[in-house]
Amino acid sequence: MEADPAIVLEWLDSVNDELRELQLTALEQLCNEVLFSDNVDVFFERYPPRLFIPALCKIFLDELAPDSVLEANARALTYYLDVSLDCAPRIARSPNVLTAMTSRLDAVDMTSAKSNELGQQIIKMLQLICTREPGAVYMAGGLTPVLRYIRLYPHLLHADVLQAGMDIIRRLFSRADPTDKNVTSWIDALSSLLDRRETGVADQALRAFANLVARFTRTGTDPSPLADSHIIDCLLQRLRVAGGVETDNELTDSSGLNLSTDTSGSGRDGFSSVTSESNPVAVHAVTNILTSLCCNSVSITHKLLTSDGQFAMTLAMVVQRSTDELVVLSVLRLIEILLVLLYQTQNVQLKSRESSQIKEQVCKATLPDAVKDDTSKQSQMQSQLFKSNQFQTSISIIEHAENSQNTSRSEHTIEAPLESQHSWEGDAIHRHFIEAIKRQDLGIVFQFLSKFMGFF
């Protein structure tokens, strides 16, 4: 027997304690009507969103509503959104509703079955809303509670809810304000999520970080706060794995990494096995993140190249050991940009206008929608760089990286058995290249670059 929509609507407004059962009954009836309806137009005619969406939103504003009612309410809204995403703007326009929804996540008690279900249902609902109204969810303060919830309870969430939560985080970071007071906690949370081994979590966290880097770049904000040491370590590790020079048996989805800044689509690329095969798309994406950071912060550039030598050694390893031309091109492109940036800051004789033009030209291509640079312009830039005789900054930094590598090599020789020492002997190619830069032997440098890039 079909329920009377007018009665269902009336019962939804039953807020007194003795009438909560009627309210819960109305919500369950509405959920069943949506699920078993085989004609969307007929359903919307009987239960029009213009009447029922505001009534459902109002329940979230009821501070005394029990978890059982809120969970059924979130489920009903999710079903409406499943039927038509046009319901999302109606929800977003309801005053204070999105704030009330996200704040409920902070009150979730995961030891309570019903509260647990409520939290997970809110995540499913917010994902659908973010598909159409990510800006509204962000402005309602949704990023911090969602990020906190996913960070604290990934092991307690259903797989689809975990993926939905990471999708929300990725989308909301594409709207993030770099001046927000919560930036530090966001970075800390992303750093933590990068260590998770659940399928897709680390990849989505890195995509979210890529979106945050893009926000800093587009707003002209100094990205220095983003240079978290653990995140940088994760980027370098991903670069080595995607470059085919290292295998991480614990990393189950790095081969599907695609870190292009994105605000649409699910972005759920998971892989169940790891190989040492290179992934040019992943390498290009990671080098783009590193390039964006360096292009917008001199301090990050110097920190990366002078801290412990791992950055320089990682780039050298990939260039020397990778057998994939596209992988090598991406890394050489990053090396080229780093040298240009170091030269641009060191050469005091270069006019400021010319200096800024070089930096703008070399960094512009790292934006997600940038078109590939004209090879002749790249050739001119490289020629100007190498012929300038102003390599002292880059030489000293590279020497520091080499010293760090030599120290590591010495320690490795002492501790490791003879059969495992051969890997260090294979670094002659990149050492030869670095020594050529130190000597400013431009012929060898040009020959090395042209071998992979075909510019000279």
Residues 151 and 264 placed together within one structural domain of the fold: no
pLDDT score at 361: 54
pLDDT score at 47: 95
CA-based R_g, the chain, Å = 27
Residue among 95, 100, 202 at smallest CA distance from 145: 100
The pLDDT of residue 426 is above 50: no
Residues 155 and 52 placed together within one structural domain of the fold: yes
Boundaries of domain holding 246: 221-456
pLDDT score at 390: 37
Residues 167 and 32 placed together within one structural domain of the fold: yes
The angle formed by the CA atoms of residues 98, 194 and 147, to the nearest 5 degrees, is 15
Assigned domain for 216 exists:
no
pLDDT score at 299: 87
- As for how many domains the chain has, the answer is 2
Give yes or no for a contact between 93 and 47, defined as CB atoms under 8 angstroms apart: no
Residue among 106, 100, 158 at smallest CA distance from 129: 100
Percent of the residues in the chain that have a pLDDT greater than 70, as a whole number: 68
Read off the CATH number of the domain in which 92 is found: 1.25.10.10
To the nearest 10°, the Cα dihedral for 23, 28, 33, 35? 150
CB neighbours of 390 closer than 8 A, spacing ≥ 6?
343, 346, 347
pLDDT digits (tens, 9 = 90+) for 211-236: 999 999 999 999 999 999 999 999 99
User: CA distances (Å), 315 to each of 207, 230, 380, 396, 435, in order?
Assistant: 21, 18, 24, 17, 15
pLDDT digits (tens, 9 = 90+) for 282-321: 899 899 999 999 999 988 988 887 777 788 888 888 888 8
CB neighbours of 320 closer than 8 A, spacing ≥ 6?
426, 427, 429, 430
The pLDDT of residue 29 is above 90: yes
pLDDT score at 431: 55
What's the whole-number mean pLDDT along residues 384-406? Answer: 45
Q: Which residue has the higher pLDDT, 299 or 24?
A: 24
pLDDT digits (tens, 9 = 90+) for 242-269: 898 888 655 444 434 445 455 444 443 4
CB neighbours of 383 closer than 8 A, spacing ≥ 6?
none
What's the whole-number mean pLDDT along residues 382-410? Answer: 45
Assigned domain for 414 exists:
yes
pLDDT score at 71: 97
Q: Which two tokens stand for residue 403?
A: 């010293």
Q: Which two tokens stand for residue 22?
A: 């009627």
Assigned domain for 386 exists:
yes
Give yes or no for a contact between 244 and 276, defined as CB atoms under 8 angstroms apart: yes
Mean residue pLDDT across the chain: 78
